[in-house]
């Protein structure tokens, strides 16, 4: 299988944040705008990511996210919970328990 890899011109230090790190300081609607804006910077539909928040952002922005670990393990990336408040509640609950 041949795979063409295209690096976005907005990657690394040139990228914008997907907005997740602003939660809960700004509204969920504003974060959603950041997520969609970040996804719109990607030059193709399938996007390789290494961050859980980026999986969610790419999915919300209409892209298909492929987590690097999933690619190595030949697994499908599941974006799971997309509502940022529910996701953070679940994450915080997990952190408190462990």
pLDDT digits (tens, 9 = 90+) for 25-34: 999 999 999 9
DSSP secondary structure of 63-74: -EEEEHHHHHTT
Residue 31 is encoded by which pair of tokens?
A: 């974060």
**Contacts for 81 with CB less than 8 Å, ≥ 6 apart:** 56, 87, 90
Domain segments of the chain: what residues? Answer: 16-97
CA–CA dist 26, 19 (Å, integer)? 9
Provide the whole-model pTM.
Answer: 0.83
Of 4 and 78, the structure prediction assigns the larger pLDDT to 78
């Amino acid at each position: 299988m041949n795979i063409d890899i295209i690096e976005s011109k907005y990657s690394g230090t040139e990228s914008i944040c997907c907005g997740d790190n602003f939660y809960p300081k700004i509204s969920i609607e504003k974060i959603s705008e950041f997520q969609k804006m970040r996804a719109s910077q990607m030059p193709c539909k399938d996007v390789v990511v290494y961050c859980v928040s980026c999986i969610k952002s790419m999915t919300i922005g209409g892209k298909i996210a492929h987590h690097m670990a999933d690619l190595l393990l030949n697994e499908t990336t599941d974006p799971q919970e997309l509502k940022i408040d529910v996701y953070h509640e679940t994450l915080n609950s997990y952190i408190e328990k462990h």
